[in-house]
Structure 1
């Protein structure tokens, strides 16, 4: 039956391709600057329909299958004069309309951002998400955190406050910023980079923002086209690409806890015609902590080269190297039998004599985009990730009521090698009176990982405890071990992952009544092999979206999930894959001529066989529990954009109710029906307001501020009985000042202004665990553009 459905979908695709007929006329043109240079990344609007097109590397834009009539093309750059041109479209003909911006190339620096007209709001996603549908028309809650917003908030890494910009999204603390785990809608958001699913048990390495252009959050089901993704959603980190505009920016950042950081961003042409472009990003950072003996030093190198082979073909190759040298991974973990937050924020169980952890991550992408004709575009991409970690992790053997602790240091080495291949086509065709946005593609990939946590050494004993009330950071009684790494990791690994997958997917968005009503039909066939296990599944998807007017749409979506899983069950059996179904409804609206966007979404996600950390596990035996069934349901509100000239807002609220709907577990660790899912807040509210002076001596100066509030928080791990102590509500206030004029930008931010003792944690039964956030933290950045 599943093969029959897949065959029918492929036949429909072939029929749509064979019988596609051109209807109406086309508009094409080129965007140039005042010095006659082509300008990429400019959004051109067709005002009568609300449709948008973005100029490519050659400055070319186009609109296809437009009904005959008179139309107005509009370019509206932030704080600059509009560019308009009227054109007449005739049936089965193409009209050329070039648009010239009255600014020099240098003056455009910093103006061209996603969405153009508002630096905090995006109208479309990147090409790496594969969909060609404007966000207003997409039947799903998709939000974009732009580079300008992150710069205003002085965000320097993926784990550094990005989550507060999206409704219901929280970061789950772990291992000193090695990787960022993002949660939403009752599950972990799958981590993507440039459209590739790079999620692993402990990875990928947290992205530094020096090479990141923007971050896309796809809330809810996305597995049908984005490989094996969580039904809760994904986040897609989009790296910086060449723009064809010669420019550069250097930034210096100083901050609390001895933060010193420098970045360099170079963008330009390698030849006069502009066929070969480059982008080069460099970052170096040293950073200590509010905890003694804790540090995190990093550097990254990210070169990108794009080559315009001909008018229809663009080849882009990029490489990113990230290196981290940091203190012991467990230095932030705190344990006590007395309750949460009973020790000072700067308390640590670690020891300065422990050998620092070192992590290296190499990633490479090669992307080919080819315009087959006016209606079809082919994209192919290969990617490879190589992640190596040599580290240690401290954990207690015993936590006693008098504050005495026996610590054990575990080796924790990892080697991850992932390779991916993708090929897909986007089509924009019309058959009769129906408009089709077609997507069809193939995903293949292999994920290999080796982990060694089999070696450990007891630092303390009954003859020499580590006492949390009176900590000593001299040499522990058991000494500091030197772990044996003379044997290759492939021989000593205690955990192995060897997974390969293949996915085929097809989607057709059918537009009726001049594309006001859009019906999305899609399906994906996934085959996964891991060791001796083989899993395959067909998952359908259906969505509908209706444009009430040019600025308002309503939508509904249904999707099924299939996600193979890895983990160590105490039974020794392999975990079952996640299956389930998802429903979402929403309303989207743009306000103030498209400057402000709002999204209201309601959803329900059912997942069978979800895994969660077993609280009785240790670093040497990190077991997981398999739930019977979990259910997540909630409401989300996102507001992003400009309210009035100079005043921008990012605000969101989410109500999330996530709980076990069918009992599950094993070996006495049973998670009963009604238990709340770990790692979430039932209420999550965030705001960020920015005001920029528009005139006067202080023109370009501004103030920004906002808060994050979470209520009814659940801990990050399961307990075998109701927790004796719940996590308190969370409130954090941040703010900043900035000034920007021509080539210079100054930014000063204060995080946790109220100096609250903020933390997350869990009740482990025998003791409590928590991890504190920094106290009041000041950060100052100076950027110079050239």
Structure 2
């Protein structure tokens, strides 16, 4: 710590000759006014350049003053050249650059020509909450974009996590979903950078533009309610764009999969300052077992309005209704079995009927006002409201008595109402102090989480022998047991959590190669729980984040190191003697170092890092069940990610993660590997889209996922075996339609996730999309 602060102090006192730098900004459009993405824009005779984003926008930084010829090019199209003159320290915004081709012609070149679309685009405004490039950011993160989601014919959020990250999905018995990241379960707790929830319902992929996975404790910017010790999962939703576009898609596949989706975008006025977009999906699917289903409906409209060059509003709504069967959770499996394969029930069998289901309704509202105060300062106000309502949720449990007999229990949860309200104010700015340049973020946020449980109870239903005839358990028998039988436990009440946060982050650069990030967050956490004692408590947390970046090869290679922290607030715990033990916020502290590359015009993007996450004040209990806060846990490992465009149309994605998450000091599990923390994770995918006459538009792809053995219990007595799943796809695309076929689990592997939930055997999904 002392060394880092010394280095940062030196940066602030170093003086040298100031460099004249300027910025060129602009937008590239097609002849019919549609933003042109993935167009290369550069200054002839220099190495300065950029690639336009999905909205046709580009920005070339650190341009020396002078006259240039700006060239906009896309392989297969005619190059556009524009004369520009820029002064010292000027931010030059150019008039729109218009290609000679229209949108249809551009798409034709993309599809039937070179296909320059990248499967990975690391640029994001949510990762650091400021305009910071990947090579300038000392934090490691993964982006799963819409191109890979489309190419792999992905129809659910769990499969998306397997598409390019060193993380493994995990399904909760309550119906939610998480990933295993750096040895810790990490839920989907962020949507457009603000808190959301996925504990009792899975988000649909239809409105997801990209998935961002930040690695390591990220409490400094996101707070303890959003980030876990393994990171943050942020869903970025689809936004309105200029011009009219639309597509309707139909998916059909194994186990009764039928899925219809629509994506319509249109301007509301001739000036295209008011834009509207709507996404919707209808999903119907059965289980591969002898009972089970997953049915849902989603509608997600969004709207943007550009008042003037300074002020823009954006709002979206996402409403989802779902009817699903939950996974069956096996209680205390380690008493009889060593691993999940030893559980004697057939892989495709269940003991519970199709009507042991869950009915959920969720609605998500998001609004943003973005105001450009000056050329260097922007104010962004965000607000969101997320409501996750469990109307009723039947959750099934089994407890094996021996290899033949099993006790069936059911929990009835609900109604449960989870409401999240968040207001956030950010100020982004850039300025200079001598030779030092600053990108600064200052922010305030308030989050309120209210959960109301009107019912929660479980009861034992019966005991069956699987070697004899038995019937699937039906809802009528369960409801009768709740009325007439004894309940194991029940709970009703209301919990109200509020969090007040203030944070600041300053990225200081000396020249254009050396960057230092200094960040700090203060949180005030307050909880009121009418069903617990004490009824309320509060805590304060202070979390720093520091980082250094040096680019030995400017804008292509960076060396980085970071120190990050995260925290969790835990309510006071009643001791066996009646005293209350007040738990301090549990802190995780990460040290990390590595190297990033973004070379050859974004054709090779890699990250290699080593990290160590330490928890020095974890909670532990002794033999008499007294609680202490002196446990110690350490998670360390190596991560490698590669995204490469090897040839025209040939893309490769790969990720490898090694993790060792151990209890260093504990009462009963000292030296054990943490539950849900596999040592090795591997993901790989290679695809090729043909560019030759007769095969234009045809593409193929193949890849797989490997997940190491996972201990399902903290005492390491029961585990989920390692698995390796292979997938392949074949697709054909034109400007008007696209046909894709995906074969999943080619080897028909029997495998389970970290909660012991059996996954699909070999299956096929076919997609037909019409574009207009």
TM superposition score normalised by structure 1:
0.85
Q: What SS is found at the alignment partner of 2:652?
A: strand
2:28·2:99 contact (CA, 8 Å) conserved in 1?
yes
Q: Give unmatched runs, 5+ long, in structure 2.
A: 13-17, 484-489, 529-535
1:543·1:558 contact (CA, 8 Å) conserved in 2?
yes
Match of 1:552 among 550, 557, 581: 557
What is the match of residue 383 of structure 1? 384
Match of 1:657 among 649, 657, 660: 660
Deviation at 1:466, TM superposition (A): 1.8
Q: For residues 449 and 75 of structure 2, what CA distance do their matches in structure 1 show?
A: 44
What is the match of residue 780 of structure 1? 766
Deviation at 1:468, TM superposition (A): 2.7
What is the match of residue 581 of structure 1? 589
Query: How do residues 475-486 of structure 1 correspond to structure 2 at under 5 angstroms?
Result: 479-481=477-479
What is the match of residue 435 of structure 1? 437
Q: For residues 475 and 191 of structure 2, what CA distance do their matches in structure 1 show?
A: 45
Match of 2:722 among 721, 729, 733: 729
Query: How do residues 413-432 of structure 1 correspond to structure 2 at under 5 angstroms?
Result: 413=414, 414-432=416-434
Q: What SS is found at the alignment partner of 1:772?
A: coil
Q: 1:397 to 1:39 in 2, by over 3 A?
A: closer
Q: 1:36 to 1:775 in 2, by over 3 A?
A: closer
Q: What SS is found at the alignment partner of 1:771?
A: coil
1:418·1:448 contact (CA, 8 Å) conserved in 2?
yes
Q: For residues 276 and 766 of structure 2, what CA distance do their matches in structure 1 show?
A: 29
Q: 1:120 to 1:561 in 2, by over 3 A?
A: same
Deviation at 1:328, TM superposition (A): 4.7
Deviation at 1:332, TM superposition (A): 9.1
What is the match of residue 87 of structure 1? 84
Q: 1:747 to 1:396 in 2, by over 3 A?
A: closer
Deviation at 1:525, TM superposition (A): 1.0
Q: 1:726 to 1:227 in 2, by over 3 A?
A: closer
Count residues with an aligned counterpart: 727
What is the match of residue 103 of structure 2? 105
Query: How do residues 225-264 of structure 1 correspond to structure 2 at under 5 angstroms?
Result: 225-228=221-224, 229-264=227-262
Q: For residues 713 and 596 of structure 2, what CA distance do their matches in structure 1 show?
A: 35
Q: For residues 481 and 170 of structure 1, what CA distance do their matches in structure 2 show?
A: 36
Deviation at 1:262, TM superposition (A): 0.2
Deviation at 1:338, TM superposition (A): 5.0
2:355·2:474 contact (CA, 8 Å) conserved in 1?
no
Q: Give unmatched runs, 5+ long, in structure 1.
A: 10-14, 16-20, 486-491, 618-622, 664-669, 763-769
1:123·1:136 contact (CA, 8 Å) conserved in 2?
no
1:446 paired with 2:442, answer no
What is the match of residue 510 of structure 1? 508
Q: 1:420 to 1:600 in 2, by over 3 A?
A: same
Q: For residues 561 and 112 of structure 1, what CA distance do their matches in structure 2 show?
A: 43
What is the match of residue 766 of structure 1? none
Q: For residues 656 and 613 of structure 1, what CA distance do their matches in structure 2 show?
A: 26
Cα deviation per residue 1:562-600 (whole Å; 9 max; x = unaligned)? 221469888685654221321111101124332120110
Q: For residues 326 and 689 of structure 2, what CA distance do their matches in structure 1 show?
A: 42
Deviation at 1:412, TM superposition (A): 1.1
Deviation at 1:743, TM superposition (A): 1.4
1:75·1:83 contact (CA, 8 Å) conserved in 2?
yes
Deviation at 1:27, TM superposition (A): 2.9
1:458 paired with 2:477, answer no
Q: For residues 742 and 313 of structure 1, what CA distance do their matches in structure 2 show?
A: 35
Match of 1:208 among 194, 198, 204: 204
What is the match of residue 141 of structure 1? 140
Q: For residues 381 and 741 of structure 1, what CA distance do their matches in structure 2 show?
A: 39
1:353·1:480 contact (CA, 8 Å) conserved in 2?
no
What is the match of residue 351 of structure 1? 353
What is the match of residue 666 of structure 1? none
Q: For residues 169 and 574 of structure 2, what CA distance do their matches in structure 1 show?
A: 25
What is the match of residue 711 of structure 2? 715
1:338·1:401 contact (CA, 8 Å) conserved in 2?
no
Q: For residues 307 and 607 of structure 1, what CA distance do their matches in structure 2 show?
A: 46
What is the match of residue 184 of structure 2? 187
What is the match of residue 533 of structure 2? none
Q: 1:474 to 1:705 in 2, by over 3 A?
A: closer
Cα deviation per residue 1:29-86 (whole Å; 9 max; x = unaligned)? 44332135565897756685656586797x6655577432455645455765555545
Q: For residues 608 and 79 of structure 1, what CA distance do their matches in structure 2 show?
A: 58
Query: How do residues 615-654 of structure 1 correspond to structure 2 at under 5 angstroms?
Result: 628-654=631-657
2:50·2:58 contact (CA, 8 Å) conserved in 1?
no
Deviation at 1:557, TM superposition (A): 0.6
Deviation at 1:133, TM superposition (A): 0.8
Cα deviation per residue 1:325-359 (whole Å; 9 max; x = unaligned)? 122553899969355323321111212454x3100
Cα deviation per residue 1:494-541 (whole Å; 9 max; x = unaligned)? 36432101111111111112x211111111111111122211122222
Q: 1:172 to 1:55 in 2, by over 3 A?
A: closer
TM superposition score normalised by structure 2:
0.86
Q: 1:237 to 1:353 in 2, by over 3 A?
A: closer
What is the RMSD computed on CA atoms of the aligned residues?
A: 3.5
1:227·1:443 contact (CA, 8 Å) conserved in 2?
no
Q: For residues 433 and 546 of structure 1, what CA distance do their matches in structure 2 show?
A: 17
Q: What SS is found at the alignment partner of 2:228?
A: coil
Q: What SS is found at the alignment partner of 1:481?
A: helix
Q: 1:476 to 1:141 in 2, by over 3 A?
A: closer
Cα deviation per residue 1:584-637 (whole Å; 9 max; x = unaligned)? 1110112433212011011111124557999xx9xxxxx999881211110000
